[in-house]
Structure 1
Amino acid sequence: MACSMDVLRWSSCRVQVHVVKQARGFLITKSNVSRVCAFSDTELGDTERGLLYSSRPRIYKLRKSRRVYCEREGVGDAGDQLRNEALAVVVRSLVAAGIEEEDAVRISLKCPHFIQTLVGRSSEADEIVRWANLSLGAEGESEGSSGNGLGEVVELSGPERWSVVLEFVGVNAQATNRISRALSGSSLPEFLKKVKFLEEALNVSQLDGRIFERKVHQMMRRLSVATDEDLQQTLSFFEKMDAQRGGLALLASAHYATARLVEGFPLIFLRDLDTELRSVLAFLETVGVSKESLGRVLLLFPPVLLCDPDRELQSRLRTLKKVGVRAMDLGRMIVRYPWLLSRTTQNNVDEIVEFLLSVKVLTRDVDRSITGCPQLLGCSSGRTLQPMVERMNMLGVKSKRLGYVIAASPQLLVRSTNEFNEVVDFLLKIGVQETDLGGMLKRQPGMFASDVETVLEPKVQFLRDLGMREDVLHRVLRFYPELLTMRIEESLRPRVKFFQDLRFHNEAICSMICRFPPLLSYNPEPVLKPKLDFLVNSMGRDIFEVVEYPRYFSYSLEKKIKPRARVITRFKIKCTLTEMLALNDDQFSAKYLGMGSMLVPPR
C-alpha cells in the first residue's frame, strides 16, 4: 500500500513538474516578458528529483534558492512594482541599443501601451506558475528563497524595441509591425535623430490647421493630370488622413504630423540625415524657400525628401526656367504649389505653354501666368482649362481680350465651371444684369476667381450694413467691381472709419460711394486727409461739399486742385466744387474768365 502511495505521489509530481515546464515555455514564447528567472532543464531535473523523495509537496525550489516568482500578497502595490520593473527593462534595452540613458528614460515614460502589455503578459505567466504551485499544495515560499523580478532578467527583442520607440513617436499600434520591418535596416538612435530633425522643421512653420486643410483640398480638387508614383502616394496619404476623425487639420501639430509621415513614408527615415535629408532642405532654401515655409512644403509633398537635389530637383526647376520663369520667383512658386517639384508637373510644362499661346496669351505673359498660378501645371488642358475658356467665351470674352484676362488672372483657368458659375449666380442674385457680366470680367478678372462665401459675400454684406440700398448696390459693383476684391479689415473698414471720425454719417458715406464707387480705394493718410485739409483750411470751403462731389478725391492735389484754387482766389470766382474741377482748363477759362486758355497765377 505504501508502495502504491509512493507511485501516486511520484506520478503527481511528474504532472506538476510538467506544468512548470509548460509555464517556463509560455514565459519564453511570450516575447521574454516574464518575471521568472530563466532556469535550465538540469535544474528542473533537480527539482523533480527533490519532489520525488519529499514527504509532502513544496513550492518549486531551484539551486541557489532560485524559485518561480510568485507575488506575495500584502507587500506593497504589485501593480506599481510590475510597472517600475517594466520601465527598467525598457530603459536597459534601449540603452543597449545605443540610445542615451536620459532619452531612454524619457521614451519609456511615453510608451504606456507597451508597458501595459509587458506587465499584462508577465501577470498572465504568473497565473500559470501560481496554479502549478498551488496544485502541489504549496502553502508559502521556503525560507531563504529570494525572487528575481522582471527588471532583472528580461531583454527586449529587436522588434519590441522598435515597438517602444514607434509608440513614443506616436505611430499607431496597428502600423507598428509594418513600420518596424520597413525600418529594420536603420538603428534606433539614427531614426530618432531623423524624427527630431523633421519635427523641428515642421514646428517652425506654425501651420493653421483649417487653412492647411483647405489648401490640401484645393490642390487635390484642381489636379487633373495623370500622376507619378510620388504624387499618387501623396494623394493616398491625404485621402487616408482626411477620412480620419479630425481630418487634415490635425497635421498642423508637428508631433502628430511626424508620426503620420513615419506611417505613410517610412522610406524617408532610411535616408542619411546629413548627406540626403539636410541637403534637400538646404537646396530648397537656396532657391528661395524660407525656413518658415520649409515645413509646409515638406508636409504638402513629403516625397521631396526622397529626391536627389542635384539630379532630380534641379532638373525639374530647370524646365521652368526654359519657359521664362525667373530664378527669383521659384521659391515663392514652390511655397504656393509644392507639387511643382514632382515629375508630374515637369512633364506637363510644354502642354500648358502651348495651350496658353493658343488662347492668345502673349509670349511675354506666359511665364507671368505660370508664375502667378503654378497650379496650372497640375491641370489637364483638355479636362480643366478648355472648359473654362469656353465658359468665358459665352460671356463675350474672346480673342485678344481673352488672352489679357487670362494673363491678368490665370487662377481663372484652374477653377471648375461650377465654381465660376457660383460667382455668376451670386452677381445675378444681387441685381447685376447678365449683359454686364462680360464687362465686369474684363475689368476685374480676379473677382471671378474668388470664393463666394469667404470673399464676395462678406463685402456685399459690409456695404449693406453701412446702409447701401439694394437698388444701387448692383450699380456700384457694376461700375467698380474691384470693391469685391478689397479686404474688409485692411481697406474698407479703416476708410469708412476715417469719414465717420470726421462726423460723416453712414448715409452720406453711402451717397459718396454711389456717386464715386472708387472712393474706398483711396488711402486716408496719403490721399484723403491732405485733400480735405486743403479744402477746409486753404480754400475755406465746407468739408461736406465732398458729399455732392466725391470725385474731388480723384484729382491730383498738386497738379489740379491747387492750381485751380489759385485761379479762383485770384479772380474771385464763385463756383461749386463740381464746377471748379469737372471742367478742363479751356472750358473753365471760357466760362469764368472769358478767354480761350487759362494762365495759372504763380504761387
Structure 2
Amino acid sequence: MLNGRRTQLSFPAKVFICQAKSGIDGSLNLKVVSPTLLVAEKEEAKAVLTLFLKKQGSSNAVAARTINKSDLFIDHLVSKLHSKHKSWYLAGRELTTLEIRDALIPYLESLFEEHGDTLVDVVENYPNPPVKDKSEVLVSPSSPVLDSKKLKAVSLVSETDPDGGNLRPHIVYLIELGMDIEQIRSITHRFPAFAYYSLEGKIKPVVEFFLELGVPREHIPTILSKRPQLCGISLSENLKPTMKFLESLGVDEKQWPKLIYRFPALLTYSRQKVMESIDFLHELGLSEENIGKILTRCPNIVSYSVEDNLRPTAKYFRSLGADVGILLFRCPQNFGLSIEANLKPITAFFLERGYTLEEIGTMISRYGALYTFSLTENLIPKWDFFLTTGYPKSELVKFPQYFGYSLEKRIKPRFSIMEKSGVRLLLNQVLSLSSSNFDKALKKKMKKMQDG
C-alpha cells in the first residue's frame, strides 16, 4: 500500500550526522574540524558546485539561486570530504582548493549521470526527491517515477543462482578485487549497464589489461567506481587505439598506471573532444612536448570546456599580465577554477593589500599555484604572519612561493630560528633552503656581522 512518506534519494545522507558521533564506527568526529575550517570548506564546496552547474549549462542566475537553496546539500558535500579524507583530518592535514575540487567533481558527475537535467531539483530538495505536485508525493515501487531498469540492474548485483546460491560470476570477481556489494550496487545504480557486463567478455579483459600496464591491484576498485563505462569499451577497437592516440599527442606511456588511476575518464573521451583541448593549447603557443606533459600531469584538462572554462580563464589571467601559456604549463589546475568564486576573490585580496595588477601578474607568473590556495585557510593567515616579520611587502612579489609553505611546520619555525640568531636573510633563503643550508646561511651571516 501507498503511505504518506516521501521516498528518500539514494544519497548517504547519514554521513554528515554520523560525523558528530564518537568515531567508533570509523566516521570523523566533527571536533577534529575547526568551525573556521568548516565554514571555509562550505564556501569551497559552493564554488565547486557553482562551477559544475555552469559547466552543465546553467546560467549564472540559476547557479546562484541553486546555491542559495542548497544548504543541506552543501553540508552533504562537506561530509563527503571528511569521509574520503578522514585520516588527513585526524592528522591535522587540511585540503587545498584543488583537492576539494578533485574529491567532489567525480561525485557530482556521477549524480549528473544518474539524474541528468533534474540535478538542480535534486540538489535544491536534498535529502528528499524533488516533488513537482502532490501526485508525486506518494510513490510506490510500481510507480513509473522510479526507473525500473535501474532497480532491476541493482537487484541483479545480489542475485544468486537457484542451485548453489552463488552470486553472479562477475560480482564474485569484483569482490575478489576488493569491492564490496554496496560499492557495486552504487556503481550499478549510476550505470545500470554495469550489471549486464560479462566477466570473460568485458570486465576481466579490461582489468587484466590495466594490471599488465602496471596499475596496482588495489587501485582497480577506485578506477571502476570512477568510470564503470571502461568495462563496456572494446580493448582492440577503442581502448588501445585511444591510448595510442594520446601517446601520439605526448602522453608518457610509462605514466599510464598513475594517469588511469587519477582520471580514468580520459580513456572514454572522443578524439574530437580531446582535439578541441589540444587545439586550444596550440593556440596558446605551447609546444607538442609541453602539451604531452600537461596531458600526463593533469589529464582532466581535457574535461574542461574550451569556451566555458579554458578560454575565459586564459583571458582573465592575460588581463593580469601573465604569460598564459607558461602558466597553463606550470599549473594547469588553475584552469579548472571558477573565475567568480576562486580567481577574482584572490585578485581582490592582493589589490586590497596595496599590490598593483602588474605585481599580481608577476606573482602568478612566478608561482603558478598561487591562485589554487584557499583564502581563509592559507593566504589570509600567512599574510597576517608576514606582517609581523618586518619584511617589505615587495618581498612577496619577488618570492610568492612563500604562500606554498606550511605556516606551522616551516614558516614560523624558520623565522623563530632566524630571530634567535640575530641576523636577517632574504625571504627565499629563509624558506627554500634545506635545513643544513639554512643553518650554513645563518652562520655565514652571523660571522659576517661579527667580522664587520
- Tell me whether the two structures share a fold, i.e. TM-score over 0.5: yes
| Structure 2 counterparts to residues 253-268 of structure 1, below 5 A | none
| Structure 2 counterparts to residues 410-429 of structure 1, below 5 A | 410-429=264-283
- Confirm or deny: 8 A CA contact 2:276 2:306 kept in the other structure: yes
Residue 499 of structure 1 deviates from its aligned partner by 2.2
Per-residue deviation, residues 539-571 of structure 1 (Å, max 9, x unmatched): 123334211210111222233322332343334
Q: TM-score, normalised by structure 1?
A: 0.46
In the aligned structure 2, how far is the partner of 1:485 from the partner of 1:459? 8
Amino acid at match of 1:525: T
Closer, same or farther in 2 for the Cα pair 1:505/1:326, shift >3 Å? farther
Residue 313 of structure 1 deviates from its aligned partner by 5.9
Amino acid at match of 1:576: L
- In the alignment, structure 2 segments of 5+ residues that lack a partner are 12-52, 59-115, 123-138, 161-166, 448-452
Amino acid at match of 2:219: D
Amino acid at match of 2:171: R
Amino acid at match of 2:155: P
Asked if 1:468 corresponds to 2:321, the answer is: yes
The residue that corresponds to 1:525 in the other structure is: 376
Asked if 1:504 corresponds to 2:347, the answer is: no
Asked if 1:303 corresponds to 2:154, the answer is: no
- Confirm or deny: 8 A CA contact 2:263 2:300 kept in the other structure: yes
The residue that corresponds to 2:292 in the other structure is: 438
In the aligned structure 2, how far is the partner of 1:523 from the partner of 1:252? 26
| Structure 2 counterparts to residues 158-307 of structure 1, below 5 A | 211=56, 277=142, 298=146, 302-305=148-151
In the aligned structure 2, how far is the partner of 1:541 from the partner of 1:449? 42
In the aligned structure 2, how far is the partner of 1:204 from the partner of 1:399? 38
Identity %: 25
Amino acid at match of 1:474: G
Asked if 1:557 corresponds to 2:390, the answer is: no
- 2:444 is paired with a residue whose SS is coil
In the aligned structure 1, how far is the partner of 2:329 from the partner of 2:157? 52
Closer, same or farther in 2 for the Cα pair 1:531/1:209, shift >3 Å? closer
Closer, same or farther in 2 for the Cα pair 1:450/1:212, shift >3 Å? closer
Give the counterpart of 2:422 among 562, 572, 580.
572
Give the counterpart of 2:229 among 375, 399, 405.
375
The residue that corresponds to 2:433 in the other structure is: 583
Residue 515 of structure 1 deviates from its aligned partner by 0.7
RMSD of aligned alpha carbons = 4.2
Residue 343 of structure 1 deviates from its aligned partner by 5.2
Asked if 1:393 corresponds to 2:244, the answer is: no
Closer, same or farther in 2 for the Cα pair 1:250/1:572, shift >3 Å? closer
Larger Rg: 1
Closer, same or farther in 2 for the Cα pair 1:431/1:210, shift >3 Å? closer
Residue 328 of structure 1 deviates from its aligned partner by 4.6
- 1:558 is paired with a residue whose SS is helix
- Confirm or deny: 8 A CA contact 2:150 2:188 kept in the other structure: no
Residue 402 of structure 1 deviates from its aligned partner by 1.8
- In the alignment, structure 1 segments of 5+ residues that lack a partner are 1-189, 214-247, 255-272, 282-294, 598-603
- Confirm or deny: 8 A CA contact 1:334 1:341 kept in the other structure: yes
Amino acid at match of 1:416: S
Number of matched pairs: 325
Residue 323 of structure 1 deviates from its aligned partner by 3.5
Residue 406 of structure 1 deviates from its aligned partner by 1.5
Q: TM-score, normalised by structure 2?
A: 0.60
